[in-house]
């Protein structure tokens, strides 16, 4: 979304980024950022390897446990697992998307208000990118969703929806109506 917003300012009025994926070009050159990027690549690669072996649930377990916490996949109710299975091969894009060459200067081209959302239990990797991204943006706000991790819109829908709607309402008034 940020890539599109920075390139096509005429198409958006606000941007909401919920735990944006690490864009490696934006990560600081620190041991913590490098370690987080390496960890992310490792669990995504392990997930893809399992998918290529025909083990969809095993691949998804690597991914979900990496994004959330160990054991998270096994704790998901069966109906919540099916959408992940239906979209399992989209995991492949996670490695490709991380290599998008977005720089801080390019992110700064995004002049519309940006809401950076995270869950209070989100993995540190998302905090690293949020901390790298925030100073680049001309107009941003941050919100932390309580009792939620990376998929905060599912873990705490009332808090997530309230935060997004409040952000939109505030900026809708200042933008004079129209699409979001």
Q: Is residue 143 included in any domain, yes or no?
A: yes
Q: Which residue's entry shows tokens 């995504």?
A: 44
Total of domains in the chain? 1
How confident is residue 73, by pLDDT bands cut at 50, 70 and 90? very high
The CATH number given to whatever domain includes residue 7 is 3.40.50.1820
What is the residue range of 138's domain?
2-175
**Cα–Cα–Cα angle for 37, 38, 41, rounded to 5 degrees:** 85
Q: Is residue 180 included in any domain, yes or no?
A: no
Q: What is the pLDDT of residue 90?
A: 92
**Cα–Cα–Cα angle for 69, 49, 72, rounded to 5 degrees:** 15
Q: Which residue's entry shows tokens 């992310």?
A: 40
Over residues 74-123, the pLDDT tens digits come to 999 999 899 999 999 999 888 888 888 888 888 888 889 999 999 998 88
Q: Is residue 170 included in any domain, yes or no?
A: yes
Q: Which two tokens stand for residue 132?
A: 């790298």
Report the SS3 class of residue 114: strand
pTM: 0.80
Q: What is the pLDDT of residue 69?
A: 82
CB atoms within 10 A of CB 4: 12
**Cα–Cα distance measured from residue 171 to residue 79, given in angstroms and rounded to the nearest whole number:** 36
């Amino acid at each position: 979304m940020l890539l599109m917003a920075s390139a096509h300012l005429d198409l958006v009025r606000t941007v909401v980024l919920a735990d944006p994926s690490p864009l490696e070009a934006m990560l600081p050159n620190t041991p913590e950022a490098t370690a987080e990027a390496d960890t992310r690549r490792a669990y995504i690669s392990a997930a893809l390897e399992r998918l290529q072996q025909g083990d969809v649930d095993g691949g998804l377990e690597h991914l979900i446990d990496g994004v959330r916490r160990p054991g998270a996949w096994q704790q998901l109710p069966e109906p919540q697992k099916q959408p992940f299975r239906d979209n399992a091969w989209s995991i492949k894009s996670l490695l490709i998307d991380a290599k998008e060459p977005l720089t801080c200067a390019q992110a700064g081209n995004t002049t519309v208000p940006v809401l950076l959302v995270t869950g209070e239990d989100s993995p540190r990797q998302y905090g690293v990118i949020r901390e790298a991204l925030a100073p680049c943006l001309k107009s941003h706000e941050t919100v932390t969703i309580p009792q939620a991790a990376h998929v905060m819109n599912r873990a705490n829908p009332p808090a997530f929806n309230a935060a997004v709607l409040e952000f939109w309402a505030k900026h809708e008034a200042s933008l004079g109506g129209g699409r979001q």
